[in-house]
Copies of this chain bind each other. A is one copy, B any other.
């Protein structure tokens, strides 16, 4: 950030009075421009014993597999965002089963929130950001071709919980990773 989005003047990095963190502050209108973590919302869509995955048609991780997920938008709830992303990336309709994993990625200032979802029908297809969308049994998950650690962790929790017969909410942190 070099310029004030309110008045167009230059911004400088300084600690505002009563604050403890350097912020971008406008030298003319004195607006403080805060920057905050972004939420990524997504879904683990389940059909019988299979999971829906999308192969990415965009960077980063072009060509690798992921669960449908993306940045939460202003004006929506986390659940609405997860359903929207599932529709956009896989043209898939899901009934959500509650928040399943919440994973912090402080090194990139993101918080992942993945919901479990019941896939409502098999009328799915690649959205504009996907090359391919397909259902996978546990033994067929392409573990070495997953796009993100958050997705791997969410799938691992799911298969373990399913084996144990009880799904519970999981919180975790990925402090630093070459894969995110």
Chain A residues within CB distance 8 Å of chain B = 1-8, 11, 18, 21, 24, 33-39, 71-80, 98-99, 102, 104, 106-107, 109, 111, 128, 169, 171, 173
Let me know if A106 and B173 touch, CB within 8 A: no
A111 to chain B, nearest CB (A): 6
Q: How many copies does the complex hold?
A: 2
Given A5-B5, A5-B33, A7-B2: A77 and B104 within 8 A (CB)? yes
Cα separation A73 to B94 with both chains bound (whole Å):
32
Best-surrounded residue of A33, A78, A99 (most CB of chain B within 10 A): A78
Cα separation A18 to B4 with both chains bound (whole Å):
28
Contact of A74 among B33, B37, B76 (CB under 8 A): B37
Let me know if B2 and A8 touch, CB within 8 A: yes
- Which B residues lie within 8 Å of A35 (CB)? 74
A145 to chain B, nearest CB (A): 24
Let me know if B3 and A75 touch, CB within 8 A: no
A85 to chain B, nearest CB (A): 12
Contact of A34 among B8, B71, B173 (CB under 8 A): B71
Across the two chains, which residue of chain B brings its CB closest to A105? B77
Q: What are 8 A-B residue pairs whose CB atoms fall within 8 Å in the complex?
A: A1-B5, A3-B4, A3-B5, A36-B72, A36-B74, A37-B76, A74-B109, A79-B104
A173 to chain B, nearest CB (A): 5
Contact of A39 among B39, B75, B128, B169 (CB under 8 A): B39
Let me know if A106 and B2 touch, CB within 8 A: no
A100 to chain B, nearest CB (A): 11
Cα separation A166 to B173 with both chains bound (whole Å):
25
Cα separation A109 to B39 with both chains bound (whole Å):
11
